[in-house]
Amino acid sequence: MFARLHNSWELVKASFAVLRADKELILFPLASTLATLAVMIAFAVPLAVAGVFDRLADTGEPGVFGYAIGFLFYLTMYFVVIFANSALVGAALIRLQGGDPTLADGLRIARQHIWQILGYALISATVGMILRALRERGGLAGQVIAWLGNMAWSLATYLVVPVLVVEDIGPLEAIRRSTSLLKRTWGEQIVGNFSIGLVFGLIGVAALLAMGIPVLLVAAATGSALIIALGVGVIILVLAAISLVGSTLNGIYVAAVYRYAAEGQISAHYFQPELIQGAFRLK
């Protein structure tokens, strides 16, 4: 566990060096976050007006209309996130290859592959709906199957985004290509040894303990609803900033892993070779 945490921290530092060189990379996850919030609001209003939430609370069933809107919501959310990730990975690859990408470069790369992104979003939304149905309706067995399915899906699609933006192939072929790259490079038995999410999860907990709880206690002591609301807002902003940095660094690392798996290239200026070579090797 400690070895994994150490390696993950080294990975965070290496990815952060890339972000330091191209600070605008963080704008892609920021745009994704703002867009997903807009999508949530855009879907919540008509669903509330149509009474889907009330029907769901009363019967546990959203109805045919609810299912259809739910799938459209999933599709839109996945499209927004994948589009932003494609722009981020595309720009990160330019930097890792020695270039100096701009925000426009990332957006241009994503727009050039918009139909592949839409197709992959459609597949991801379908898989997401199936796994959610298993979790909610399959009992304990369904939850276990959904958890295993989510792990397998995440690993199989780990390199799909860079494959889509570099190799210009369809989403189904990109999924097969992603799986093939992982197996060819790291073998049949593969497992992720590094986790940026682990590091930033710990950072988030530390921030909550060191700053969040004291801020809430001080705000509550004032008895002012406005100050309490401001305190909660500050905590949310800090946690959101931590999440944005983590998302950006993860996109950078995915780009670096793809370069090694597809081209055998390691951006040694930023990443130690063992950080990439040992990424999925079972130890």
The reported pTM is 0.84
Lowest mean pLDDT among 59-68, 93-102, 115-124, 194-203: 59-68
Asked if residue 74 is part of any domain, the answer here is: yes
- Provide, rounded to the nearest whole percent, the portion of the chain with pLDDT above 90: 27
State in Å, rounded, how far the first CA of the chain is from the last one: 12
Res 283 pLDDT > 50: no
- Provide, rounded to the nearest whole percent, the portion of the chain with pLDDT above 70: 84
| pLDDT value for 9 | 77
Q: How far, in Å, CA of 109 to CA of 102, rounded?
A: 11
| pLDDT value for 117 | 96
Model confidence band, residue 223 (pLDDT cutoffs 50, 70, 90): confident
Instruction: Evaluate the CA torsion angle 128, 120, 156, 273 in order and state its sign.
Output: negative
Asked if residue 282 is part of any domain, the answer here is: no
Model confidence band, residue 107 (pLDDT cutoffs 50, 70, 90): very high
Burial letters 78-104, b for 16+ CB under 10 A, else e: bbbbbbbbbbbbbbbbbbbeeeebeee
Q: How far, in Å, CA of 163 to CA of 254, rounded?
A: 11
Condensed to tens digits (0 to 9), the pLDDT of residues 136-177 reads 777 888 888 988 888 889 888 989 999 999 998 999 999 999
| pLDDT value for 59 | 62
Q: How far, in Å, CA of 106 to CA of 93, rounded?
A: 10
Of 225 and 153, more confident: 153
The 8-class DSSP code of residue 26 comes to: G
Q: Which 3 state secondary structure label does DSSP give 48?
A: helix
Domain around 87:
2-277
Q: Nearest-CA neighbor of 245 among 73, 86, 26?
A: 26
Q: Which 3 state secondary structure label does DSSP give 281?
A: strand
Res 10 pLDDT > 80: no
Lowest mean pLDDT among 50-64, 80-94, 208-222: 50-64
- Read off the tokens for 97: 């290859």
**Number of domains into which the chain is organized:** 1
Other C-beta atoms closer than 10 Å to the C-beta of 15 total 27
User: What's the mean pLDDT in 238-259?
Assistant: 88
Hunting for tokens 């965070």 — which residue is that?
Answer: 12
Partnered with residue 281 across adjacent β-strands are 190
Res 185 pLDDT > 50: yes
Asked if residue 164 is part of any domain, the answer here is: yes
Q: Nearest-CA neighbor of 116 among 77, 153, 159, 82?
A: 82
Q: Which residues, 6 or more positions from 175, have their beta carbon under 8 angstroms from its beta carbon?
A: 120, 123, 156, 157, 160
Res 270 pLDDT > 50: yes
